[in-house]
Structure 1
Amino acid sequence: MLIAHLPAGFILGTLARHWTGNARAIMPAALLGSVAPDLDMFYFYLVDGQQTHHHGYFTHWPLFWLALGSVVLPLVRWLWPRFVSAAVVFFIAVMFHMVLDSIAAPMHWLMPFSDVAVELVTIPARYSHWVLSFVLHWTFALEITICAWEGFLGIKQSRQRKLHESRA
């Protein structure tokens, strides 16, 4: 995924707000979780010099996030119970990021125990730059669909907010 992680987080946040009673922390948690694994890009560009595919870093290991969630979620429930829903949504968004990455990029679902890479579709390097190969591949239509869905939800929310404000 190149452009759809944050829009996917918005979609998840919108749906989760309906499930959890519209808690204020839900949307920020969904948005942050949707991009959290890609925070490794700072290391990738600033330290590693692009020597290792960023999906090889622990921030792209689903088992790392599951282990972290198994520690963090009980702590949140104990210390800050009103944020449990937001914490759950954060970790769901992180895992959704991994699922989306698995569509057209290698993901190591069992790292550090296995380095077997899983990807649904391998995108061949047909063009001079890897971005072109991704953007001109049919799988990019999924990203456009996610972005369009996010746009639809955003416009719908904006219209509902304006309608609500005009009635007040």
Structure 2
Amino acid sequence: MFIAHLPSGYILAKFLDKKLKQTKISKKAFFAIIMIGAVFPDIDLFYFYLFDNRSVHHHKYFLHWFSFWIPIFLMSYFYFKFSQYTSRLALIVLLFSSAALLHISLDTFVGDVWLFAPFIDKPYVFFEVTNRYQPWWLNFIFHWSFSMEILICISALILYFKN
């Protein structure tokens, strides 16, 4: 996924904003937390390009592991849901981690994701993108799946301008 992580975060924020009517977070912060969470796993690209010399696929790093984000999501969910104290921090972590999980789920569409890392060292992908063009990213842009990214972007724009 190249261009749709941020718009998908916006769509998630709009959806959750309707579901979670009363939060102790401003609307601006609410949207920012989710949208930053939706792109955050790709922060590992800095390490990938600056330190790792592109030797390991960046989806193998822990920020792209479900086994990293699911426990964070579950702990924050249960604390937020069942604690006698209404915790802003638990809600912030819950929103952020749900957006990060969305990111990884979207990456699985056409990008290799190590779903069971670090336990199983095997990439999974729904649809394979064949290597036909140079540079490598043209393979993704000319693949039919890029239309899904455009659709996500258009949906986010429609939601934005609908208000």
Please report the TM-score for the alignment, with normalisation by the length of structure 2. 0.87
d(CA) in 1 for partners of 2:74 and 2:115?
Answer: 17
Q: Moved runs in structure 1, 4+ residues, more than 6 A?
A: none
Indicate if the aligned counterparts of 1:20 and 1:85 stay in contact, CA closer than 8 A. no
Correspondence for 1:68: 72
| Letter aligned with residue 88 of structure 1 | L
2:31 and 2:87 mapped to 1: Cα distance?
A: 17
More helix by share: 1
Separation (CA, whole Å) in 2 of partners of 1:68 and 1:48: 26
In 2, Cα distance between the equivalents of 1:150 and 1:70? Answer: 27
Q: Is 1:134 paired with 2:110?
A: no
Question: Following the alignment from structure 2 to structure 1, what is the Cα–Cα distance between the partners of residues 62 and 140?
Answer: 24
Report the AA paired with residue 137 of structure 2. Answer: V
The DSSP-based 3-state class of the residue aligned with 1:2 is coil
Structure 1 Cα separation of the partners of residues 53 and 118 of structure 2: 22
Deviations 1:47-80 (A, max 9, x none): 1111111001111111011133344556676776
Counterpart of 1:9, as a letter, is G
Whichever residue aligns with residue 125 of structure 1, its letter is N
Could you tell me whether the CA contact under 8 Å between 1:107 and 1:119 is conserved in 2?
yes
Give % identity. Answer: 34
CA contact (8 A) 2:65 2:114 kept: yes
How many pairs does the alignment contain? Answer: 157
Query: Aligned partners of 1:154, 1:69: CA distance in 2, in Å?
Result: 27
CA contact (8 A) 2:44 2:61 kept: yes
Q: Which runs of 5+ in 1 are unaligned?
A: 158-168
Structure 1 residues 78 and 30: CA distance shift in structure 2, 3 A: farther
Give the aligned partner of residue 9 of structure 1.
9
Give the TM-score taking structure 1 as reference length.
0.84
CA distance in 2, matches of 1:22, 1:53: 40
